[in-house]
Amino acid sequence: MRLILLFAVFVILGLALESAGARVLSFRSLIPNLIIILAVDLGLRHHGVIPAILAFAMGYATDALSGSHPGLNAFMMTMVFLVSYEVATRLMTANAGVGAVVVFFSVIATALATVAMANGFNALSDTGWMLPGLTLQAFISALIAPIIFAILSTTKRLTGLTATSSRERSIRDR
């Protein structure tokens, strides 16, 4: 329950910041994708049914403020969670550096996948103009990700939640 409440607060703040930021900054690429960072944190550090549902819910919440195909962001965030989970279960560590790399590729992959799923794969041929801005946004998101992970980790500790993945804990205990 604490995890759900914690992420609900972060998602509301993140979406409001992204939405308001897009109004203020004319260059949209400067705004990091905060929801992907949250989904990656869930996938790297929380392995269970509730975190998976939480990732889906985060995406569905994003659908309320983005796009015209409800379910699209829910699909993307579940995929990001799943990829992050797979990364965390295969690597010895799931530190902020690994998270930043996953965030970088997730921002680019989800944007292109969103265009492809909403308009068909032919539309990908028109996405060349998006790539420089998208890469910049992915880079900024990856740059800011360790800070968000640290804030999340501190908040989790303060609320009595575990801030490391079960795999990391089992390796540490050995």
DSSP-derived 3-state class of residue 27 = coil
Task: State how far Cα 92 lies from the chain centre.
Answer: 21
> Per CB under 8 A, does 13 bind other proteins?
yes
Cβ–Cβ under 8 Å, residues 81 and 43 = yes
Site for other proteins contains 26 (CB under 8 A)? yes
Out of 2, 71, 131, 147, point to the residue binding other proteins (CB under 8 A): 71
Least Å from the CB of residue 174 to other proteins: 18
Nearest-Å Rg of the Cα atoms of the chain is 16
Q: Which of residues 118 and 157 has its CB atom nearest to other proteins in the complex?
A: 118
**Contact flag: residue 4 with other proteins (CB under 8 A):** no
Nearer to other proteins, 59 or 99 (CB): 59
The answer for residues whose C-beta is within 8 angstroms of residue 131's C-beta and 6 or more apart is none
- What span, in angstroms and rounded, lies between the C-alpha atoms of 157 and 11? 19
Rounded Cα distance between 9 and 100, Å, is 22
Number of Cβ atoms within 10 Å of the Cβ of 72: 20
Q: Which of residues 109-148 bind other proteins (CB under 8 A)?
A: 111, 114-115, 117-119, 123, 126-127, 129-130, 137
Q: Which residues bind other proteins (CB under 8 A)?
A: 12-13, 15-24, 26, 28-29, 31, 33, 35, 47-49, 51-53, 55-56, 59-75, 78-79, 81-82, 85, 111, 114-115, 117-119, 123, 126-127, 129-130, 137
